[in-house]
Amino acid sequence: MPVCTRCSGIYTGFIISLILIYAIDRRLKSRLPGKKTVMILVSFFGIMVIDALISLVKIFPPHIDNMLRFITGFCTGWFLPLLLLPLKNSIIFKTEAIFQKSYLSGKWQFICWISAGIVFLTVFFLTCAYRGAVLFYSALSIAGLVILIAELLIILFFAPVKRLRNSLSPGLKYTGFVALSVIAAFSFILASAFLKLLVYKYL
């Protein structure tokens, strides 16, 4: 994997979850998830932190430790889009273009989404020993990292400027902003990797 196992889990969970949310619930929505969903996300984040601390003392063998890292990271990343998507929509889109509802508010939508996550995790652990599968999951992880940074950049760009907030409609202009944010995110990752190499070289 191009990054640590836990981070790979976060980025992979994020991008798969994001794709599924768009596929299951196609409308633009701006309401943040309910308290139960937020508590689940906070709980997974807490479990991930505890797992990180356990990893430091090396209680489990490496293969078990890596499995736990990926699972805790994946679960955290899986729930992130439910928070980031409505936050982004409520900041950048015009009020009349979005629905004042939360994503996956339907019972069966939520069940399908959760079931897909369980299926993906199962497939991952059944296939992660194969080189071709590892390359695929690595590419997926990198894509998840790029998209996550791009989403955060869009939020950070629109949120502080009152004139820009709630100024876009879905369409070509929004697509252009997304493309620019993806390019900026990818450039940021490359620059970070280059600086990291320089630091390692001269330390």
Rg (CA), the chain: 18
CA angle 121, 125, 126 (to 5 degrees): 115
- CB-based contacts of 152, cutoff 8 Å, min separation 6: 84
Contacts (Cβ under 8 Å, ≥6 apart) of 186: 146
- In the predicted model, is pLDDT for residue 115 greater than 90? yes
Give Cα 163 to chain centroid, integer Å.
28
pTM above 0.85, yes or no: yes
104 DSSP assignment:
T
User: What pLDDT was estimated at residue 136?
Assistant: 92
Per-residue pLDDT, 203 = 62
Please give the DSSP secondary-structure letter assigned to residue 29. B
Q: Which residue in 27, 39, 167 sits closest to 101, CA to CA? A: 27
- What residue type is 97 in one-letter code? A
When divided into structural domains, the chain yields a total of: 1
Q: What would the pLDDT profile of 62-84 be if each residue is shown by its tens digit? A: 777 788 889 989 999 999 999 99
Query: Using one digit for the tens of pLDDT, what is the confidence trace for 84-106?
Result: 999 999 999 888 888 888 898 88
Confidence category of residue 182, pLDDT binned at 50, 70, 90: very high
Q: What is the pLDDT of residue 147?
A: 95
Alpha-carbon distance of 74 to 121, in angstroms, equals 8
Q: Let me know: does 82 contact 103? Beta carbons within 8 Å.
A: yes
pLDDT attached to residue 2 = 55
Separation between Cα atoms, residue 186 and residue 110, nearest integer Å = 31
Which residue range is the domain that position 149 belongs to? 5-202
On the question of pLDDT at 179 being above 60, the answer is yes
Q: What is the pLDDT of residues 130-144, one digit of tens each?
A: 888 889 999 999 999
Q: Can you tell me which residue has the tokens 């620059």?
A: 191
Q: Residue 18: what pLDDT? A: 95
